[in-house]
Amino acid sequence: MGGKELRRIVFSEQEISRRVRDMGREIAAAYPPQDELLVLGLLKGSFIFIADLVRQIPRPLHVDFLVVSSYGAGTVSSGEVRLVYDAKAELAGRHVLLVEDIIDSGTTINRLVPVLEERGPKSLEVCALLHKRVAPYLVKEPRWVGFEAPKEFLIGYGLDYSEHYRNLPYIASL
């Protein structure tokens, strides 16, 4: 599948489940219960993480999505971010949680955060399942991070290599 061999499992299905549960509780506690929360997911890589995460946030919320492209068929970011699909939800006056699968080069976050801030949210926070800590500069550090990620190309749990491996229940390296 995908023409690449798995090197190792980096985060098991059980580790991911525990961490996502804890993140959901932390996120729920961070917002006033009377305020609406909009979870804004970055597709495609974060779709499994978002589905699991929102089920662990014990409060009313809305979910919408953005689709951006920066990789194509390679294993290194092209450095160019294209907004392919924009969220339909109104951001003005709402608490917005931008959910990303992985922060590596920082290009996607650096491109999107200013665009979203221009829309006047009450607050804007970033939640990332994985953070490689290799970006030389981020316009906004994530408030919630699932795991510190190794500097390897990771797949599984929504992350892909040329559209393969997204369905793995764990995160592995190629």
pLDDT above 80 (res 72): no
Residue 22: predicted pLDDT: 98
| DSSP SS3 for 4 | coil
pLDDT tens column, 136-163: 899 999 999 999 999 999 999 999 999 9
Q: What is the pLDDT of residue 1?
A: 53
**Which residues are annotated as catalytic?**
104
Domains recognised in the chain with CATH numbers:
13-71+79-152 (3.40.50.2020)
Longest dimension (CA), the chain: 49
Q: At residue 8, what is the residue type?
A: R
What's the pLDDT at 6?
81
Distance of alpha carbon 159 from alpha carbon 169, whole angstroms: 10
Q: What is the pTM of this model?
A: 0.89
Side-chain-side CA neighbours of residue 39 (13 Å): 25
Quick one: DSSP state of residue 149? P
Residue 81 has a pLDDT of 67
pLDDT tier at 80, thresholds 50, 70, 90 = low
Question: Mean per-residue pLDDT for 111-118?
Answer: 93
Which residue did the predictor score with more confidence, 79 or 157?
A: 157
pLDDT digits (tens, 9 = 90+) for 19-64: 999 999 999 999 998 898 999 999 888 999 999 999 999 998 999 9
What's residue 7's pLDDT? 86
What mean pLDDT value characterizes the chain?
90
What are the two backbone dihedrals, phi and then psi, of residue 131, each rounded to the nearest 5 degrees? -135, 120
What is the per-residue DSSP string for 27-80?
HHHHS-TTS-EEEEEEETTTHHHHHHHHTT--S-EEEEEEEEES-TTSSS--S-
